[in-house]
Structure 1
Amino acid sequence: MSTFYARICKNGHVNITYRRAGKEERCKECGAPLMDSCPQCGSVIKKWHYYGMVYLTPKNLKFQRPDSCRECGYTFPWAGKNINFD
């Protein structure tokens, strides 16, 4: 089984990887701190479980970046920002 986490910087850039965001980790695009869970309630933003062989490609790991926490409703710092991902 493989587990993936969505890690999002405070400016809204998405990074999907096998591990949780460390306290000192920063966005490779803008240098802002990365987060993988809600700072209010601690709920993980997005987590996937895959069984078998998985390749990390933009095609199979895209997801809709949320503007607020699905558990407590906390508004994330990137809410409403339009980020160009191309």
Structure 2
Amino acid sequence: MSNFYARICESGHVNITYRRVKGDEHCQECGAPLMDSCPQCGNLIKQWHYYGMVYLTPKNLKFERPDSCAKCGQVFPWADK
């Protein structure tokens, strides 16, 4: 099984990868801090589970960035921009 996580910087740049944000990671585009979960409740922004071999292609990476947490409603930093 492969897991993918949506990692989004405070400016709103989306990065989808096999791993969660660890420590003090920053966006490669703008240098803003990355987050993969709600800072208020800890709910993951988006996680996918795939069984078998998965190749990352532009088709697989389509994802609509949310402006607030699906669990608690906390507004994310990029929603104001």
Q: TM-score range by the shorter chain?
A: over 0.9
State how far apart, in whole Å, the 2-side matches of 1:28 and 1:34 are.
10
What residue in structure 1 maps to residue 37 of structure 2? 37
Counterparts of 1:60-75 in structure 2, within 5 Å, are: 60-75=60-75
Could you say what secondary structure the match of 1:70 adopts? coil
TM-superposed deviation, 1:57: 1.3
TM-superposed deviation, 1:23: 2.1
TM-superposed deviation, 1:80: 4.7
Q: Kindly provide the amino acid, as one letter, of the partner of residue 3 in structure 2.
A: T
List runs of 5+ in structure 1 lacking aligned partners. 82-86
Equivalent residue pairs, number = 81
Could you say what secondary structure the match of 1:79 adopts? helix
What residue in structure 2 maps to residue 84 of structure 1? none
Runs of 4+, deviation exceeding 4 Å = none
Show CA shifts across 1:29-66 (max 9, x none).
Answer: 00000000000000000000001111111211211100
What residue in structure 1 maps to residue 4 of structure 2? 4
Could you say what secondary structure the match of 1:78 adopts? helix
Report whether the alignment pairs 1:27 with 2:53: no
Report the TM-score, using the length of structure 1 for normalisation: 0.90
Which structure dedicates a bigger proportion of its chain to helix? Answer: 2
